[in-house]
Amino acid sequence: MPTFSILFAAIAALIHVLFFLVESIFWMQPKVHRVFGVKNIQEAELFKISFFNQGFYNLFLAIGVFVGMYFIHSENIIIGKTLLLFCCASMLSAAIVLFLSKPKLIIGALVQGLCPLISILAFLFLK
């Protein structure tokens, strides 16, 4: 697997760890939930469980990439490539859904999906 592909998968995973922190750990801080258009603590409380859950989805995708990287560097290369690419495809798919559901969030969709896209393209075209 091209190093370039692994590098961008790792960056995508780190971004998703940050999403986890924002959505699951720091959600109730006004600076954080305002980024998502939530105006006050009462409204943030309504979304708290949903964002908590979503944050963990992001964390699990990141862990999948890291585990895939581990397997790529061990004797289980096929398992590692499969896991890494599946997680990147999931991240990219979520970014596409975000953009299609709310085009004004294109910046968020790019942050979420650009690195996984580059990783997948590098895997497909750099040998």
Question: Scanning the structure block, which residue is given the tokens 């393209």?
Answer: 121
H-only helix segments in 73-105: 77-101
Q: What percent of the chain has pLDDT over 70?
A: 100
pLDDT tier at 75 (50, 70, 90 boundaries)?
confident
Rounded mean pLDDT, 72-83? 95
Domain boundaries, the chain: 3-125
Q: Does 88 score more than 90 pLDDT?
A: yes
Q: What pLDDT is recorded for position 121? A: 97
3-state helix, strand and coil shares in percent for the chain, rounded to the nearest 5: 85, 0, 15
* DSSP symbol at 102: -
Q: What is the pTM of this model?
A: 0.93
Q: Is the dihedral of CA 115, 116, 121, 123 positive or negative?
A: positive
* DSSP symbol at 103: G
Q: Does 54 score more than 90 pLDDT?
A: yes
Rounded mean pLDDT, 26-49? 92
